[in-house]
Amino acid sequence: MKLLTTILTAATLTSLTFAADAPLAVGAAAPEITAKDQDGKAVSFKDTYAKGVTLVYFYPKADTKGCTAQGCSLRDNWKELTAKGVQVLGVSGDKAEAQKAFRDKFTFPFPLIADDDGKVAAAFGVPLNKPGVSGIYKRTSFLVKGGKIVWNMTDKTTTETHAADVLKVVEGLK
């Protein structure tokens, strides 16, 4: 019985520590998960998708150079994004307090999801940025329309031009 308990405990810890390693492909159903934002408030991804095309972007760590550039790109192009009906959810493995400080410091107009348990990253198949370093996910982005993934950026995800890249894809959606 002790061995079984040890194995189950190890399996549980492993599932919380490591994200998946195969991001969702175009055409896959978008995860209908609920997670907490920077204020600890529950955010239903399904409800967000229902409001229009949704960008779900994963970044490694709040308030770091590349992550700040990516978030600021979206913030600085917010008017254009919202004019196209785009919703944005930023996700990292940071705790809610770190997400709140990051959002407030850079006045991001969109929610930042505190995925400190790794459930959102696992649902989207976002791998760890560095294997074995929990909570720091690879920079990955998805566009969701009609409950399906319609675009993803899994390699060489942009930072400074992220909003322009997203807007270009949104222009091509019917």
Catalytic residues: 67
pTM for this entry: 0.86
- 3-class DSSP state of 136: coil
Helix (H) or strand (E) holding 173: none
What are the pLDDT digits (tens) for 53-65? Answer: 999 999 999 999 9
Owning domain of residue 59: 2-172
What are the pLDDT digits (tens) for 65-123? Answer: 999 999 999 999 999 999 999 999 999 999 999 999 999 999 999 999 999 999 999 99
Residue 146, CA distances (Å) to 32, 47, 124 in order: 12, 11, 16
Domain count, the chain: 1
CATH number at residue 118: 3.40.30.10
